[in-house]
Amino acid sequence: MPYLPIDPSELNTTPDIVFVTPEAYCDHPSFGQAIITRILEDEGLSVAILSQPMTRDDYTKFGKPNYCFFVSGGVVDSMVNNYSVALKKRDRDIYSEGGQPGRRPDRCVSVYTQNLKKYFPDTAVMIGGMEASLRRYAHYDYWSDSVMPSILVSSGADLLMYGMGERTVREIATMLKKNIPASSIKDVRGTAYLSTYDNLSNRVKKAIDNGEVDICPTYEEVVADKVKYVEAFNIQHLNSDHVNGKTVVQKHGQYYMVQNPPSLPLSVEEMDKVYALPYMRDYHPIYTLGVPAMEEVKYSITAQRGCYGGCNYCAITFHQGKYIQKRSKDSIVEEAKIFVKDKQFKGYIHDVGGPTANFRNPACDKQEKHGLCKGQNCIGYKKCPNLKVSHEEYLDILRTLRNMDGIKKVFVRSGIRYDYLMADKDDTFLKELVKYHVSGQLKVAPEHVSTKTLKAMNKPKFDVYLDFKKKYDSINASLGKKQYLVPYLISSHPDCTLDDAIDLAEYLLSIHYMPEQVQDFYPTPATKSTCMYYTGINPDTMESVYVPKSPHEKAIQRALMQYRKPNNSALIGEALRLTGRTDSPLRVYATYPKGSTPTKTYQPKEKKVEIYKPTNKKRRRR
């Protein structure tokens, strides 16, 4: 099956859909652009790929499509892709040919949509992907340090598809083929739109009038009041479950931003069908310099999606959802057989997993019928007693794959939840993971050592990691292997003071480890941690939380994690002096100004905010 057309010369007629993407065209199921376009094709629609348009000629080269334009923001938000957490322009874009930067505009979904509306004012534009999905409500934008309106406002798009989108896209395709105007598509699950009251769907009008929708504080309210921002955030996240999620409305001036309930999850059979579509499984041959993002995923297998881990700094739960959707073992094996037939395949499967590799099934039996518990965590700082823990099914898949002809090794690199693994009374999976599926080092994410910081992250207490490390090291020793554990760590997360940062640095010193790179907390749209960063309020407790925001303090926290670097010594000395901890073992890496006396005690500055107290009063309908 050939690649989809990327040039008008490859078409005999006008395409039904023109799919616009900020990434080089890769026809591989690890890329949303490939899945959505192949689904549209599977629905009988002709699709043309418009990759990384920059000029008017680029935008108009396919002409006006029969139905509409689809605009994707790509695998990551364009601002995250283009800028580091220090707001410096990145010098590489792994989703462009040869890693070349500058091919993706800032806020690409809005830029693409506005240009399409300018050149084709009478043609509908539908938006989707990570950037659209996470910016569907009024949201804090780290790069402008402001609260921005829904991306439906800034882009002018006719419809927004949030979440993974396969079921939503199939339903929309069916409606388009019936010549239903895109402007009339308003009640599909997994979509959102902007409208005046008069042009709302009858279903939503009735629901608003009867109080059957959840009304968020308005855009104007969340801009003016941080407590209202948190209130809106909680309403949005409590309605992200496909069973219990209601229609949610947030007004922007006279306009209603309407989010329909989340799309229903795909069945195993439906997931299998998605991954059996005729992908070329590589970047388009027009890219002679290659596309770096393909290197790791080309021979990787997505076994499931969704994550109930609930890490507060992660947007996966707001985009993919907490409910686990999976492929069958047969489907996974069939994909591995495709690898074996590929002449470039060297026998190594780079990964088999998902957002969390060892989450293979929903967290508990009741989720399928009753949905996720509102406001409760399945795992994280505190594990739910109803959590079902089993690695049997996942282990069976790994055993089958590693024993297939033509496969030398099967690695697991997409992330293991060590707290879930430690909750398994049977060590068989961990033993086989260490023996067969680790490529020299296993990366896991304890993120910090401070109990209160970990609680703010919704990560397990550090003792759980220490117990896991002890068991991991013991199994490696029994197998005669020297495989290392590489911890992912975050600095400057909300509720992380200099004292907490020093505690982390002292632990790293005690194990003689210094990370080569340090990840500063990055406030990306729609996460709970970003809500804390902006408001200074923990949405779970509605209490004030300390937020390290100044560039200097963030630099100190980074320096503490990289304590051996000589150019960090003054910052380490400043941290020890400010906290009164000059007797710390880190002192050998610190320097102090001449004549300084380490007597000042560091006290984080708490910003007082008015704490929201819920009442039984109903919000006034708008």
Confidence at 375, pLDDT banded by 50, 70, 90: confident
Contact 537, 545 (CB under 8 A): yes
Give the pLDDT confidence score for residue 1 in this predicted structure: 54
Q: Which of 403, 473, 417 is nearest to 445 (CA)?
A: 417
Report residue 254's pLDDT band, with 50, 70 and 90 as the boundaries. very high
pLDDT at site 372: 87
Above 80 in pLDDT, residue 173?
A: yes
Q: Is residue 161 within a helix (H) or strand (E), and if so which, with residue range?
A: strand 159-161
Taking only the tens place, the pLDDT of each residue in 263-322 is 999 999 999 999 999 999 999 999 999 999 999 899 999 999 999 999 999 998 888 889
Range with lowest mean pLDDT among 237-246, 451-460, 556-565: 237-246
Question: Which of 496, 552, 490, 497 lies closest to 519, judged by CA?
Answer: 490
Using CA atoms in the order 527, 529, 531, 537, what is the torsion angle rounded to 10 degrees?
150
pLDDT at 138 over 90: yes
Query: pLDDT, tens digit, for every residue of 87-128?
Result: 999 999 999 999 999 999 999 999 999 999 999 999 999 999
CA–CA dist 188, 62 (Å, integer): 28
Q: Quote the pLDDT of residue 517.
A: 83
Considering only 97-111, 237-251, 363-377, 446-460, which range has the smallest mean pLDDT? 363-377
What does the mean pLDDT of the chain come to?
Answer: 93
Per the DSSP assignment, residues forming a β-bridge with 69 are 18, 125
Question: Is residue 476's pLDDT more than 80?
Answer: yes
Q: Which residues contact 138 (CB under 8 A, 6 or more apart)?
A: 147, 148, 149, 150, 219, 222, 223, 232, 250, 252, 257
- The answer to whether residue 241 scores a pLDDT higher than 70 is yes
Q: What residue segments make up the domains of the chain, in order of their start?
A: 8-259
Handedness of CA 527, 113, 129, 133 (dihedral sign): positive
pLDDT above 70 covers a percentage of the chain that reads: 95
b/e 279-293 (16+ beta carbons within 10 angstroms → b) = bbbbbbeebeeebbb
pLDDT, position 599: 45
pLDDT(615) > 70: no
Q: What pTM was estimated for this model as a whole?
A: 0.93
In angstroms, the CA 569 to CA 559 distance is 8
Sign of CA pseudo-dihedral 169, 170, 171, 172: positive
32-78 pLDDT per residue, tens: 999 999 999 999 999 999 999 999 999 999 999 999 999 999 999 99
Q: Taking 50 as the threshold, does the pLDDT of residue 616 lie above it?
A: no
| 194 close to 158: Cβ distance less than 8 angstroms | no
Evaluate whether the domain defined by 8-259 bears CATH number 3.30.1330.10: no
The whole-angstrom distance between residue 464's C-alpha and the CA centroid of its chain comes to 24
Report the C-alpha gap between 368 and 361 in whole angstroms.
11
